[in-house]
Structure 1
Amino acid sequence: MVAELMIQVSDITQYFYCPRKIYFLRVLGVSVPSKPKMEMAKEEHEKEHQRVVERKEIYGFPREEVKEVLHSVAIEASEYHLYGVIDTVLILTSGEIIPVDIKYSRFEEKKRNWTKQLVAYSLLLESKMKVKVTRAALFFPESKKRIIIEISSEDKKALLKDIDTIMSIIINEVLPNVSKDKKCSYCEMNRFCTL
């Protein structure tokens, strides 16, 4: 079973929001109904892809520095037991490859779960494109704000350990401790979760 188990990049994001979410989603199979905000984000992603064509900058990068823009890039890396769909991949004229995650959030800051998500995308791109990825970006369309995330080898090694931990939760059906943050009232799992 371990060889067949694959982790979605969204599992990593959920794990760093609260480890218990992985247990409910992947072990118990609880489905999360789509929220209106999620539906709006899907629609906005499509519009954002169209708006990129009209802008002087592409996700905060000068147009002349961008060689190619790829949207909705699905990648699987079996060696990492990982797969996901990257919002946008920029291939710069310098040859650098930058995964971009588009966020529709009023919290325009670097969050741990978002950073881990970008590290995961970097691993996937390195596996597929055989190029080292050292930077990624968060982009907030409403304000046109871009945050560059530097990605180190240590970040990637740490993420591989995180993937092992997530796989262990799923395989061993272990209920992790609840997150120490005060996010429980916002969490869609709070009706299942007994603290």
Structure 2
Amino acid sequence: MRSVPLSALQHHAFCPRQCALIHNEQAWAENYLTAQGRVLHERVDGGEPETRKGVRFERSVQVSAVWLGMHGVLDMVECDTRSGCLKPVEYKRGKPKTVPSDEIQLCAQALCLEEMTGQTITEGALWYGQTRHRVAVPFSDSLRQAALETVARVRELLESGITPPPKYGKHCKACSLLEWCQPKLLGKDRSRDYVADLFSD
């Protein structure tokens, strides 16, 4: 079973083709959005571990869940020094989304921590740079199921080795791989249909 990078969940939520380009074809390019995100994460990840008001803050925490088949690096994990309870915190460049992709990624992080520690993690948090606001995320049964289903879909995509065809949309303008992907050009390519017609009955 192929281990799914936690970062692939966010890429898949944005665009399955982008996910395959990055994780199967090893394509990468940076634009101003990814640069802003990189700077934010470097600032968060570069800090030293510290304890304040009974909470231990650990940064750039590497996780690996063998049974669930996931791995990655968490921006931050908060640990209550009295109870030992853990809480993953994910930093995002933008603002809260209308779809639960950020919550699903955060919940997958919690599932990794649970497998590694044997501890049940009930809640995490998302911090958004655009609003400079922190949002609490309870890990409900439905969110846990959505996270597991998303991981399964991403694993299926990555194991297939197939890069989905382009589907141009408004989101393409924000994609750092726009020039690599060429969704407008390749989306009009009918060569596959032409070849299929040649050999059809």
Normalised TM-score (structure 1): 0.77
Secondary structure of residue in 2 paired with 1:33: coil
| 1:137–1:149 contact (8 Å) kept in structure 2 | yes
Using the TM superposition, give the Cα deviation of residue 157 of structure 1 relative to its aligned residue in structure 2, in angstroms.
2.4
Name the residue aligned to 1:23: 20
Aligned-residue CA RMSD in angstroms? 3.0
Pick from 168, 173, 187: which aligns with 2:156?
168
**Superposition pairs of residues 3-82 of structure 1, within 5 angstroms:** 3=1, 5-27=2-24, 29-35=25-31, 37-45=33-41, 47-48=43-44, 50=47, 63-64=52-53, 66-82=54-70
Q: Secondary structure at the match of 1:74?
A: strand
Pair 121,47 (structure 1): closer, same or farther in 2 beyond 3 Å: same
- Structure 2: runs of 5+ lacking an equivalent: 188-201
Which shows bigger deviation, 157-166 or 137-146?
137-146
Of stretches 107-116 and 182-191 in structure 1, the one that deviates more from structure 2 is 107-116
TM, length-normalised to structure 2: 0.75
Counterpart code for 1:96? C
2:87 corresponds to which residue?
98
Give the 3 Å change call, closer, same or farther, for CA 130–96 of structure 1 in structure 2: same
Q: Quick check: which has more Rg, 1 or 2?
A: 2
Which gives a bigger RCO, structure 1 or 2 (Cα 8 Å, sep 6+)?
1
For 1:129-148, list aligned pairs within 5 A. Answer: 129-140=117-128, 144-148=132-136
C-alpha contact 1:19 1:179 (8 A) present in aligned 2: no
State the shift of 1:37 in Å: 5.0
